[in-house]
């Protein structure tokens, strides 16, 4: 059978195969391909349908955006670990200097521990008997079951001021959210701070910077810790009151004892700090407390009632009264700490 194509069919077949038609197809395909981004053309799973190109194009960028925060978080963690190591080193260095300079070496004012004089021992005993001005105040109202030693009001005021501030630190330590990193007893720690020396707070501040053990469960507070925490407002008011009375007693106490006016007492304080190791150590304690108080409160603001958190955040830098604000506004209903 012989098939004869019509002239129109032959003409159309010829047009489809001309060089000009082929170049038009190539040009059309090229225009379609340049609409795809470089990232999409590198993707072997790219769907070439013109309606799906826009939806597929953004996927690689989403992956990159998710990786960036992870890298930033890792960088922040590394910098935080480096800063904690530096602070720990500084704290342990401070502890070593404290012990050497105030206890052992003979260069600071007064006598070192190994050469302490009988006058210093008698002064320390007398200050302890006048603890929180109980005996002097009871004697002043006619109660003389035990006579209070007569010491200079400046010495009594400085001693009781530091001891009262140390008392106020107890609820703060027991509500510290990093206290479990300190593996020893907080009862013993606070007892040594209160009745022996405040040097034990420096190691605590260093040890609480250690990495948390994920296997450790939050420890239960002791009976003393529970009493200090529940009675935080009372402890705060008691300590702050004694601190205020100490300041007033230093300036006006024993007015009939021949200790002079404010100028005379100030001159005595300067000489007292330059000749007595105990008084010199108290100045160190006051400086360290002024640093540790805002530090600890700032890291435990979540323990404070939300409505008072901003106020406590500002007041925490005020010695004694910043700690009083923390204890007064402590959220006792929150068991998280």
pLDDT, tens digit, 9 for 90 and up, residues 29-69: 444 444 444 444 444 444 444 444 444 444 444 444 455 55
Q: Quick one: pLDDT band at residue 70, thresholds 50, 70, 90?
A: low
- Confidence band of 141 (pLDDT split at 50, 70, 90): confident
pLDDT at 77 exceeding the cut of 80:
no
Residue with tokens 């200790």: 259
Residue 326 has pLDDT above 80, yes or no: yes
Helix axes 262-273, 277-298, angle to 10 degrees: 90
Reply yes or no on whether the pLDDT at 323 is more than 70.
yes
Mean pLDDT of all residues in the chain?
82
DSSP state of 18: S
Q: Is the pLDDT of residue 271 over 70?
A: yes
**Mean pLDDT to the nearest integer, 173-185:** 92
Q: Tens digit of pLDDT for each residue in 286-300?
A: 999 999 999 999 999
- Among the listed residues 133, 162, 167, 87, the one whose alpha carbon sits nearest the alpha carbon of residue 252: 133
Confidence of residue 301 (pLDDT cuts 50, 70, 90): very high
Cα distances from 67 to residues 5, 56, 71, 78, 259, in angstroms, run: 65, 19, 7, 17, 72
What mean pLDDT comes out for the span 197-211? 91
Task: Note the pLDDT of residue 24.
Answer: 47
Closest CA to 325 of 310, 335, 337, 315: 315
What pLDDT shows up at residue 14? 46
Angle (CA) 139-141-144 rounded to 5° is: 35
- Confidence bin at 317 (pLDDT 50/70/90): very high
Q: What pLDDT, on a 0 to 100 scale, did the predictor assign at position 26?
A: 45
Q: Mean pLDDT over residues 155-182, rounded?
A: 95
Write down the H helix ranges in the chain: 7-16, 19-34, 38-42, 53-57, 59-99, 118-129, 134-140, 153-174, 186-195, 201-207, 223-230, 232-252, 262-273, 277-298, 309-315, 321-328
Percent of the chain with pLDDT over 70: 74
- 20 - beta bridge partners? none
Task: Give the per-residue pLDDT at 144.
Answer: 86
- Cα–Cα distance for residue pair 190/271, rounded to 1 Å: 30
More confident residue, 31 or 204: 204
Report whether 19 contacts 36 (CB < 8 A): no
Is the pLDDT at 201 greater than 90, yes or no? yes
CA angle 250, 312, 336 (to 5 degrees): 120
What confidence category does residue 337 fall into, taking pLDDT thresholds of 50, 70 and 90? low
Whether the Cβ atoms of residue 161 and residue 244 lie closer than 8 Å to each other: no
DSSP state of 112: -
Candidate from 172-176, 253-257, 324-328 with smallest mean pLDDT: 253-257
Q: Which two tokens stand for residue 282?
A: 């108290």
270/217: higher pLDDT: 270
* Cβ density class 97-127: b for 16+ within 10 Å, e for less: ebeeebeeeeebbbbbeeeeeeeeeebeebb
What band does 268 get if pLDDT is binned at 50, 70 and 90? very high
How much is the average pLDDT of 199-222?
Answer: 86
Query: What is residue 78's predicted lDDT score, i.e. its pLDDT?
Result: 60
CA-CA distance, 20 to 49, in Å (whole number)?
26
Q: Which among 309, 313, 307 has a CA at the least distance from the CA of 295?
A: 313
User: Which one, of 42, 38, 40, lies nearest residue 50 by Cα?
Assistant: 40
């Amino acid at each position: 059978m012989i098939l004869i194509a019509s002239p129109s069919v032959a003409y159309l077949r010829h047009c489809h195969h001309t060089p000009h038609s082929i170049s038009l197809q190539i040009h059309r395909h090229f225009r379609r391909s340049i609409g795809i981004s470089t990232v999409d053309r590198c993707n072997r799973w790219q769907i070439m349908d013109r309606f799906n190109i826009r939806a597929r194009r953004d996927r690689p960028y989403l992956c990159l955006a998710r990786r960036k925060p992870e890298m930033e978080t890792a960088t922040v963690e590394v910098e935080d670990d480096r800063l904690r190591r530096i602070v720990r080193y500084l704290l342990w260095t401070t502890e070593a200097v404290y012990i050497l300079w105030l206890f052992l070496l003979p260069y600071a004012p007064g006598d070192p521990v190994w050469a302490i004089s009988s006058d210093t021992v008698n002064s320390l005993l007398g200050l302890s008997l006048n603890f929180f001005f109980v005996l002097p105040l009871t004697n002043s109202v006619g109660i003389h079951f035990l006579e209070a030693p007569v010491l200079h009001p400046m010495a009594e005021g400085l001693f009781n001021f530091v001891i009262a501030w140390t008392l106020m630190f107890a609820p703060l330590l027991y509500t510290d959210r990093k206290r479990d990193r300190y593996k020893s007893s907080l009862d013993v720690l606070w007892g040594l701070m209160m009745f022996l020396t405040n040097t034990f707070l420096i190691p605590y501040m260093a040890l609480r910077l250690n990495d948390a053990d994920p296997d450790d469960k939050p420890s239960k507070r002791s009976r003393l810790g529970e009493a200090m925490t529940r009675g935080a407002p009372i402890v705060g008011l008691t300590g702050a009151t004694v601190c205020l009375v100490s300041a007033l007693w230093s300036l006006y106490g024993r007015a009939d004892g021949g200790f002079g006016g404010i100028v005379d007492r100030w001159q005595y304080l300067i000489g007292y700090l330059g000749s007595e190791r105990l008084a010199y150590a108290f100045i160190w304690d006051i400086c360290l407390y002024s640093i540790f108080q805002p530090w600890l409160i700032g890291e435990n603001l979540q323990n404070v009632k939300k409505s008072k958190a901003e106020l406590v955040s500002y007041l925490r830098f005020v010695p004694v009264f910043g700690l009083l604000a923390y204890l007064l506004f402590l959220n006792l209903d929150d068991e998280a700490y």
